[in-house]
Amino acid sequence: MKKYIAIVVIAFISLQLTAQTPKQIILETKNAALVLSVGSNQRVTQSYLGKKLPAADYTQMRGGREVYLTAGMENPNEAAIRMVHSDANPSLELQYVSDAVNKKDNDVSTTNIILKDPEYPVEVVLHYTTYYNEDVFKCWTEIKQHEKKPVVLTEYASSMLHFNADEYWLTQFHGDWAREVNMIEEKLTNGIKTIDSKLGSRANLNQTQTFFLSLNNKSTETEGELIAGTLSWTGNFKYTFEVDSHNGLRIISGINPYASEYHLQPNETFTTPEFIFTYSANGKGQASRNLHKWARNYAVLNGNGPRMTLLNNWEATYFDFDEKRLVELFDEGKKLGVELFLLDDGWFANKYPRNNDKAGLGDWEENKAKLPNGISYLVKEAESKGIKFGIWIEPEMVNPKSELYEKHPDWILKLPNRKEDYSRNQLVLDLTNPKVQDFVFSVVDNIMTKAPGVAFFKWDCNRPMTSAYSPYLKDKQSHLYIEYTRGLYKVLQRVRAKYPALPMMLCSGGGGRADYEALKYFTEFWPSDNTDAFERIFIQWGYSYFFPSKTLSAHITTMGKQSLKYRTDVAMMGRMGYDIRVNSFTPFELQFSSEAVRTYKRISPVIWQGDQYRLVSPYEANRAVVMYVSEDKSKAIVFNYNMNTRRQDIFNRVQLQGLDANKKYRLKEINLFPDTRTNQPDNDKVLTGEYLMNIGLNLSPRAAALTSNVYELTEE
């Protein structure tokens, strides 16, 4: 009898325990885990974010901070969401209802967690997609309400993450026109640090939505625990980093709610942009490689496909060209051996010809004086010379001196009763208006209809939004920044529905737009109008933390004073192109360049698809060294840029990374200028991966000022 009672008691206790064991939602990738728990009050908390652990360890983790903190109730800090209900109640409580996992394949699965307010008909769905092999997490949120009247959203984050560490080190990337993505790392102190943009159309001009957050200590390329985060949104964004009184950090990411109160209609769903992050326990290099791989596999248009080498005419001619000159340029492109000619700004508008940046923007008809036979003639001429033809557009903008401005003053963002506010002599079209969306789509569609052979577009956007007011939105002005970006996506979706594979470069007066939502529609982007190779090393280095090399357009121009070889070597670490007068090349320069194009085509699969290792940072030394290793580790390309300008520096040996210690590699210096010889003492030697990664190479044997080298390692 006693035994029987004991069994019943044990059964009762274990039943009680099961009932009380808090539910956990475990999101795992190959090396990382995010653990959420549901508390007895039905609130969902983040119990853990970090290195993947044995499953049993997660069950020890309870509680934590609320995963999508609401405003208006007991939370005194920054919130992920703030809603004012139709009865003016400014609070929200979110309780767990259910969760479900949707496993797409062995790599990708999405967990959806439904939360509801117990008193108001409001539903919030938290979405988390994990990319197992890439160690990447994607988070976004849907907000719905079923009240009788609209509610007002004044905060609507994509996600919120919590950390508990001794110290937090934030690396951000800021800049301006022609000096993009300067990296700076600082320790976060108690209080709030905000990184945001209020620029609307050219949102990344000053701040980028990319950051590293290192825990406990600063991280290096190879050491340190950190996350690398970025928001997929081509408009105003905001990050809030708040260190609270207990030294806990919360990171809130999302659309910038600045001047953007959102009136959510009954039954409408507000979907936030995606916040992407990767976790690395081995420094920034690993985080970048995770993101590069993820971007190629899932984010960028044709992410695993090839890119075209090209000749662009912007810095070669600016606005000063005609049909004859362009046809000559096709020949110059042909001499180089590039695949595409890209016609830049200045080809359109008749009543107010586009001969400078003061007129014509918006009038997308070929200028009859410059191009009497139109684009289709140019396409045919280019094709007859064995080169493809691409074209520049800036379809979201208008010069006041244009027919478009005269015909459709109501299509333009500008304040009533105020003077027009110009930037680069232009204004932004009102993309919230479906008619304007039709027009912007027609800019691409008309060109493609007239000249179906057009093989590439450069889509520019040269001004931010200021003094913005939408004639279309009328009394809903606070929706402008959001609806503009949504309007842009609607147009891009239409372009992609009709022209799914057409390669397009995203440009915004340099790197004013570079984010993963835009890159769903683009194959590459223009990082900066600064094409001085010395400056470009920093700029391309900065972008390389978050974007794979094949998305970084890098052109050889005459802007910098470095040798043609140096400029070429720098462009080779991205998607190489030219923007230069080839007819002013010396025979040696032409020979070097056409060989460089051939070399690039041969080695580019490693640069585009390989793993990138940043070996020596230009921020820390007078040189930069970057290498790319093919996935099977049979090939590697090493770029060495000496950035010393004052004297012959002494540079130490560089230990390579990412090779197979057991493989043997032959080292060859490539891309040499005609009539020059390598100084590399180990040139043509066969060395083991072990040696190369431990003893390393003397990459700059003479270290002459502003010289550079490209080395190829091939498995023997």
Binding site for ligand GLA (CB under 6 A): 314, 344-345, 357, 392, 460, 462, 507, 509-510, 526, 529
Closest contact distance (angstroms) between CB of 459 and ligand GLA is 10
Contacts for 11 with CB less than 8 Å, ≥ 6 apart: none
Q: Shortest approach of ligand GLA to residue 460 CB, angstroms?
A: 5
> At its nearest, how many Å lie between ligand GLA and the CB of residue 264?
37
CA quadruple 116, 120, 122, 124: dihedral positive or negative? Answer: negative
Smallest distance from the beta carbon of 140 to ligand GLA, in angstroms? Answer: 30
d(CA 118, CA 115): 9
Q: Please, which residue, 423 or 466, has the CB nearer to ligand GLA? A: 423
Pick between residue 357 and residue 421 the one whose CB is nearest to ligand GLA.
357
Q: Are 309 and 571 in contact (CB under 8 A)?
A: no
* CA distances for 281 relative to 159, 183, 219, angstroms: 22, 21, 10
Tell me if 103 sits within 8 A of 111, measured CB to CB. Answer: no
Nearer to ligand GLA, 344 or 366 (CB): 344
Write down the least CB distance from residue 526 to ligand GLA, Å: 6
Kindly state the smallest distance separating residue 329's Cβ from ligand GLA, in Å: 15
**Alpha-carbon gap, residue 264 to 272, rounded angstroms:** 13
**What span, in angstroms and rounded, lies between the C-alpha atoms of 545 and 541?**
7
211 or 352, CB closer to ligand GLA? 352
Q: How far is the CB of 490 from ligand GLA (least distance, A)?
A: 24
The span from the CA of 545 to the CA of 226, in Å, is 13
- What is the residue type of 258? Y
Query: Please, what is the minimum distance in Å from the beta carbon of residue 390 to ligand GLA?
Result: 12
Of 526 and 651, nearer to ligand GLA (C-beta) is 526
Alpha helical stretches, state H, 21-58: 55-58
CA dist., res. 353 & res. 376, Å (int): 20
Taking a C-beta distance cutoff of 8 angstroms, is the pair 241, 172 a contact? no
For ligand GLA, give the closer residue by CB, 424 or 663.
424
Furthest-apart CA atoms within the chain: distance in Å: 106
Residue 622 to residue 637: CA distance in whole angstroms: 20
State in angstroms the smallest separation of the CB of 555 from ligand GLA: 9
Q: Would you say 357 or 690 has its CB closer to ligand GLA? A: 357
Residue facing ligand GLA at closest CB distance: 345
CA distance 254 to 232: 9
> Quick one: 127 or 555, whose CB is closer to ligand GLA?
555
Q: Which is nearer to ligand GLA, 355 or 467 (CB)?
A: 355
| Residue among 105, 81, 103, 101 nearest 91 (CA) | 81
Q: What's the alpha-carbon Rg for the chain, to the nearest Å?
A: 28
Contacts of 166 (CB under 8 A, 6+ apart): 216, 247
Residues with Cβ < 8 Å from 707, sequence gap 6 or more? 563, 566, 642, 700
For ligand GLA, the closer of residues 507 and 597 by Cβ is 507
Q: Which is nearer to ligand GLA, 509 or 560 (CB)?
A: 509
Containing 490, the helix (H) or strand (E) segment is helix 480-498
Which C-beta is closer to ligand GLA: that of 393 or that of 451? 393
Residue 602 CB burial class (10 angstroms; 0-12, 13-18, ≥19): exposed
Q: Which position has the token pair 């009102």? A: 430
Distance CA 574, CA 124 (A): 41
Report how far residue 549's alpha carbon sits from residue 670's, in angstroms, rounded to the nearest whole number: 19
Q: Which is nearer to ligand GLA, 171 or 312 (CB)?
A: 312
Closer Cβ to ligand GLA, 462 or 551, answer by number: 462
Closest separation between CB of residue 273 and ligand GLA, Å?
24
The full DSSP string for 578-644 is E-S-GGGS-HHHHHHHHHHHHHHHHHHHHHHHSEEEEEE-TTTSSEEEEEEE-TTSSEEEEEEEE--
Kindly provide the residue ranges of all beta strands, DSSP E only, lying in 122-224, ordered along the sequence: 122-131, 136-145, 151-156, 159-164, 168-176, 179-187, 191-196, 207-215
Residue 582 in contact with residue 311, Cβ under 8 Å? yes
CB of 359 to ligand GLA, least distance (A): 12
- Rounded Cα gap, residues 565 and 555, in angstroms: 13
Q: Are 179 and 530 in contact (CB under 8 A)?
A: yes
Closest CA to 401 of 436, 349, 341, 331: 349
Smallest gap from Cβ 594 to ligand GLA, in A, equals: 24
Query: 319's torsion region: left (phi>0), alpha (psi -120 to 50) or beta?
Result: alpha
Q: Cα separation of 636 and 627, whole Å?
A: 7
Pick 314 or 628: Cβ nearer ligand GLA = 314
129 or 553, CB closer to ligand GLA? 553
CB of 344 to ligand GLA, least distance (A): 5
Min dist. Cβ of residue 371 to ligand GLA (A): 17
Least Cβ distance, residue 397 to ligand GLA (angstroms): 10
Closest distance between ligand GLA and the C-beta of residue 324, in Å? 21
